[in-house]
Amino acid sequence: MRFHVLTLFPEMFASYLCEGILARAKEGKLLSVNFHDIRDYTHDRHRTVDDYPYGGGPGMVMKAAPLFEAVETIRDSGELAGSSPVILLTPQGRTFTQVVAEELASHSEIALICGRYEGVDERVADHLATDSISIGDYVLGGGELAAMVIIEAVSRLLPGVVGSAESPANDSFTTGLLQHPIYTRPASFRGRNVPEILLSGHHAEIARWQRRESLRRTFLNRPDLLDRLPDGALSEYDIRFLEELSGPRNS
Ligand code: 6GU
């Protein structure tokens, strides 16, 4: 899979992509990330990428032309098919989730446009990008961190990037529930003990405990996820356990 990142700050990405599973994926040719400095697609002496907003208001707006030229140049080079996603990273986009990551992982090339400043000329969202994505409800100075988040979340889903031992199948959100607590040695640390059941060797009981703790965490920290589970995701036991958690009602 190939990512094209259009950014004013290509140097922000280097150290992150040169460590860990992303570095391994690049070495193994499972992943490539190409950077395109938006300033390289300007033609004036000052390499201008932003301008004042029509109608007034605070801040500067990223100009459309350098972004259109950058995408067209990449397309003309044959490294981005006309049918490949071109994603504008903006707080105004749809929210990135594991489901969106899975959808993006089905493409072989994706262009990510990192917005900066107070915004991007709307013609980019309307006539260049095929999709606009935000990574959550908070404000970042630009789309660079969002691009890194997307590259990592999507790359982990590509066959061979994450070893089968660390399979993402049980990750939080892949199951729609938060992951249960996990522990490693020692069994007692500063007087805090690993739950007895995990030392018991009773695999079926351990699995039941893990399921309950997943449900408990999700109920406490992310009750919104429980409302969005697909039909049939909860067993009768699960539903009874969640009812116990919500406490006795009408009493
Ligand atoms: Cl994609 N960009 C910016 N600037 N802020 C964000 C974001 C993106 N996603 C969440 N906050």
pLDDT at 96 over 70: yes
Catalytic site residue from 2, 39, 156, 212: 156
* 171 labelled catalytic: yes
51 in catalytic set: no
Q: Note whether 105 and 57 are within 8 A (CB).
A: no
Looking at residues 55-68, what average pLDDT do you find? 96
138 CA closest ligand 1 atom index: 11
The reported pTM is 0.94
User: CA 47, CA 73: separation in Å to the nearest integer?
Assistant: 17
**In this structure, how many other beta carbons lie within 10 angstroms of the beta carbon of residue 190?**
5
End-to-end CA distance of the chain: 57
Question: How many Å lie between the centroid of ligand 1 and the Cα of residue 125?
Answer: 14
| 91 labelled catalytic | yes
Q: Is 138 in the pocket of ligand 1 (CB under 6 A)?
A: yes
Is the pLDDT reported for residue 249 higher than 90?
A: no
Q: Assess whether the C-beta atom of 140 lies below 6 angstroms from ligand 1.
A: yes
Residue with tokens 């300007």: 42
Q: What is the pLDDT of residue 75?
A: 98
* Residue whose token pair is 């395109």: 36
Angle of helix 144-155 relative to helix 20-27, nearest 10 degrees, comes to 70
Residue nearest ligand 1's atom 5 by CA: 140
Which residue, among 225, 248, 7, 8, has the nearest Cα to 112 in the 3D structure?
Answer: 7
Tell me how far the alpha carbon of residue 95 lies from the centroid of ligand 1, in angstroms. Answer: 10
DSSP letter at 231? Answer: T
**Positive/negative CA dihedral, 105, 106, 112, 115:** negative
Residue 203 has pLDDT above 70, yes or no: yes
Number of residues written out for the chain: 251
